[in-house]
Structure 1
Amino acid sequence: MPPESTARCRRTTVTLPEYGSILSRQGARIVTGSHGTFWVQVENHTLGRMPTFCLDSPDPGEVRRVIKQGRAGVASYLMKTSAEHPPNAWLYICEDPGYSLEKLAPSMRRNVRRALKELRVAPLTAEDVIQHGLPAFSDTRRRVGLADGTEDAFRKRFSVRAQCRAHVFVGAWKDNLLAAFLSITEVDDWAEIEGCFSRDALLEFRPNDILMYTVLSQYLVHEGRRLVSYGASSIQPGTSAEGLHAFKTKVGFSAQPVHRAFELHPLLRPFTNRLTFWTVNRLLALRPMNRSLRKTAGLLATLTDKQ
C-alpha cells in the first residue's frame, strides 16, 4: 500500500473538452479532432494529438486540416501498427486494477521498501514545485543529454502548468530536500505522467521508484481510473532509450509497439531529404544538447528511414 500521507480525495474531474478549453485560454493552439480528441501545440511549430494514447486513425483529411487551422509545420500522432505502418515507437500504459508491489520485480520491491524507510511521499502544490524543484529538474535534463535545465525554462514550464487544475504534482522528500517529483495530467478516467524529475545526489534512496509505485497504486487501485500512461518513447537521438524503457517496464508499465506518424506542412515536404538530414546531424554534432536539433534529427530520421 502507498504511504498514508499520499492519500487524497479525488477532485472534480476535468473532462477532455474542458482540458482543451483551459489550454486554449492559456494561449496554446487547439484544433478539434475526430474520435473525441483534440490537437494541441506541443512545440513552437508542432501539434500533437490528445490523448497521447489514442491509436485510432484520424478521419480522412483531418491531419491536413489540423496543420492548416493550427498553423503548424508538423502534426504528430500514434497509430496501431500494420503492414503499412510498422512499429517505430513504444507506448507505455498501465491498466491493472490489481496493481501491487507483489507483482513487480524483486529489484523494484527492494527499492520501494528502502524508499519507504528513507523518504516521505506527498502531493505538492505548484508553489512547492517552483520553490524546491529546480535542482531535480536541472539534474534530470542534464542526465538525458539536454541543455534546457535552466531556471528560466523551469519556471516557464511549471508556471503554465500551475494554472491548470488538470495538472498535479507528487513529490518524494528526503528531510527538507525534494528528492524527486512527478508532473501529472489528470483527465476523465485516466492520468498521464508528463515528467519525472530527480536529484542526482539523492538517487540512492530510489525516489523515482517510490513515486511511480505510489501514483500507480493511487490511480488504479484506490481511485479506479481506467489507465495511467507514461507517454511514448522519444524520437530524439542520443537519449538513454534502453534505460528509460527498462525503468518504465520495471515499475509496471506495459510497452505497446505503436507507429508514430508525422505529417508535414506542404511547404516543408521538399526539405525532407538526405541532404537536410545530413546537415542537421552535422549541426547536432556541434551542439549535441540542443533539444530543437535533436527533435529535428529524430523527425528526419523517421521520415527518411534512417533510424
Structure 2
Amino acid sequence: MTPDIFAEWLSRQKYTVIRTASSYWYNQVPRVYQAFPYHWIIQPSDCELSNFLRENKSVGLRYSTSLDAIEGAVSYHAVYENSVYGFENLGKWARKNVRRGLKNCNVQPISFETLAEEGWALQLDTLDRQGRRLELAKEIWRKRCLAACDLPGFEAWGALVAGRLAASVITFQMEDCCYMLYQQCHRDYLPVHVNNALSFVVTQTMINRPQIHSIFYGLHSLDAPSSVDEFKFRMGYTAKPVRQRVVFHPYLAPLFNRVSHAAVRGLLHWQPGHPTLAKAEGMMRFYLQGKLPLDKQELPSVLRSADNDLLERD
C-alpha cells in the first residue's frame, strides 16, 4: 500500500498533510510536523526545510535521517527484519509469557467498529498506567479507528478474554513494511500476558505474508517510558540505529536552548505526564542532543548496551 493511503487516513482525522520533495508530513500537534512514512530515512535539504517551516507557519518538525547526517539525535526504530518469526526468536522469559498468554486469550482480527467502541477503555487505562495524561477525547479515538474502516492495508487485531477485548493493535502495510500502531492493553489482563500473545501472533502473521519484508514497531518516543520499547525488544524486535532530527523555525530556534529546556523540565516535574509539556521537553531534548557530535551525545540505553560502532561513525 502507498503513503497516499496513510495520508488519507490522517486527513480523515483532520490532520493537515503536506507533501515535499523528500517526504510527507502531518501536524502531529498544532504547528509541529512529523515526517512519514515513519520508516523512511530521509535527508531533506536545508532549503526544503526552511521553506516548509516558513510557508506553513510551523514551529518545528521531526524526521528520521541516517547516522551519517550532520545533525540529529542518535535514536532508533524498533523493527523486525528477519524472514521468519517464532518461539525460536524469543528468549526464555518471552517464550514463557507468550505461551501463558495464548492459553488465556484468543488473538484474532476485529472490526474497526469494535475497536472504536471497546478500545476506548484500553486507551484510557494504557495512558494512565504509563503516567501519560489523556490528550484526546473519545470522539477523536472513534474517528481514528473508523477512518481506517474502508482503507486498504489497515487491520485491527485484538486479544479477547472470555469475549472481552483485553488488548488491541492497528496494523498498516506501508509498501513492504507492516506498521504496528496504537498497541494497548488493560492492566487487568497484564498478569495473564495478553499483550505478549497479541504481539507474537500479529508479528508471526505479518512476517509470514510474502509481500511483507519487515515490521516497524515504532519510533524512539519523545515522551513514552522506556518500558514501552523494552517490551518490544523482549519480543524479538531490534533497535535500528538512526538519527532523529528536530528543526525549529529559524526565527524561533534561538529560544530553544539549555536554559529554556531546563525550565520546561522543571514545569514537567511539577506537572508529570502533561502531554504538551512532555512532547515539548522531548522535542527540545532531541534538538539539543542533535547539535552535538556523536561521541558527545547521550545514547539511548538500548544502543549503549548493543554491540555497534556508533561512535566511530562521525
TM-score by length of 1: 0.85
Cα distance in structure 1, aligned partners of 2:239 and 2:42 = 18
Aligned-pair CA distance for 1:174: 0.6
1:273 aligns with 2:273: no
Contact 1:137 1:154 in 2 (8 A): no
Match of 2:199 in 1: 212
Cα distance in structure 2, aligned partners of 1:234 and 1:111 = 25
Match of 2:34 in 1: 48
SS state at 1:28 partner:
coil
Match of 2:15 in 1: 28
Contact 2:28 2:34 in 1 (8 A): yes
Query: Structure 1, residues 152-203: CA drift from partner, whole Å, max 9, x if none?
Result: 6343134234213244311001103211101223332222112211011111
Q: Percent identity?
A: 22
Cα distance in structure 1, aligned partners of 2:35 and 2:69 = 23
Amino acid of the residue matched to residue 17 of structure 2?
Answer: I
Cα distance in structure 2, aligned partners of 1:59 and 1:74 = 15
Aligned-pair CA distance for 1:274: 2.8
| Aligned match for 1:190, one of 171, 177, 181 | 177
Q: CA RMSD in A?
A: 2.2
Match of 2:47 in 1: 61
Match of 2:141 in 1: 157
Amino acid of the residue matched to residue 248 of structure 1?
Answer: K
Aligned length: 288
Cα distance in structure 2, aligned partners of 1:274 and 1:46 = 20
* Structure 1: gaps of 5 or more residues: 1-13
Amino acid of the residue matched to residue 254 of structure 1?
Answer: T
Match of 2:96 in 1: 110
| Aligned match for 2:157, one of 164, 170, 174 | 170
Q: Within 5 A, what are the aligned runs for 1:121-140?
A: 121-140=107-126
Amino acid of the residue matched to residue 110 of structure 1?
Answer: K
Cα distance in structure 1, aligned partners of 2:9 and 2:188 = 37
Contact 1:81 1:87 in 2 (8 A): no
With 80-89 and 175-184 compared, the bigger mean Cα shift is at 80-89
TM-score by length of 2: 0.84
**Are the structure 2 counterparts of residues 162 and 70 from structure 1 closer, same or farther at C-alpha, using a change threshold of 3 Å?**
farther
Aligned-pair CA distance for 1:24: 3.4
1:255 aligns with 2:239: yes
**Are the structure 2 counterparts of residues 92 and 223 from structure 1 closer, same or farther at C-alpha, using a change threshold of 3 Å?**
same
**Are the structure 2 counterparts of residues 86 and 297 from structure 1 closer, same or farther at C-alpha, using a change threshold of 3 Å?**
closer
With 48-57 and 81-90 compared, the bigger mean Cα shift is at 81-90
Match of 1:11 in 2: none
SS state at 2:137 partner:
helix
| Aligned match for 2:266, one of 282, 296, 301 | 282
Cα distance in structure 1, aligned partners of 2:212 and 2:283 = 33
Contact 1:171 1:178 in 2 (8 A): yes
Aligned-pair CA distance for 1:232: 1.3
| Aligned match for 1:303, one of 277, 287, 290 | 287
With 215-224 and 72-81 compared, the bigger mean Cα shift is at 215-224
Query: Structure 1, residues 236-258: CA drift from partner, whole Å, max 9, x if none?
Result: 2xx431x2332111112110121
Contact 2:172 2:179 in 1 (8 A): yes
**Are the structure 2 counterparts of residues 70 and 21 from structure 1 closer, same or farther at C-alpha, using a change threshold of 3 Å?**
farther
Match of 2:78 in 1: 92
Contact 1:161 1:167 in 2 (8 A): no
**Are the structure 2 counterparts of residues 30 and 65 from structure 1 closer, same or farther at C-alpha, using a change threshold of 3 Å?**
farther
SS state at 2:100 partner:
helix
Aligned-pair CA distance for 1:137: 1.3
SS state at 2:208 partner:
helix
* Structure 1 residue runs of 4 or more that deviate by more than 4 Å after TM superposition: none
Aligned-pair CA distance for 1:208: 1.1
Contact 1:121 1:172 in 2 (8 A): yes
Match of 2:312 in 1: none
With 15-24 and 178-187 compared, the bigger mean Cα shift is at 15-24
Match of 1:10 in 2: none
* Structure 2: gaps of 5 or more residues: 290-296, 299-314
**Are the structure 2 counterparts of residues 100 and 175 from structure 1 closer, same or farther at C-alpha, using a change threshold of 3 Å?**
same
**Are the structure 2 counterparts of residues 267 and 288 from structure 1 closer, same or farther at C-alpha, using a change threshold of 3 Å?**
same
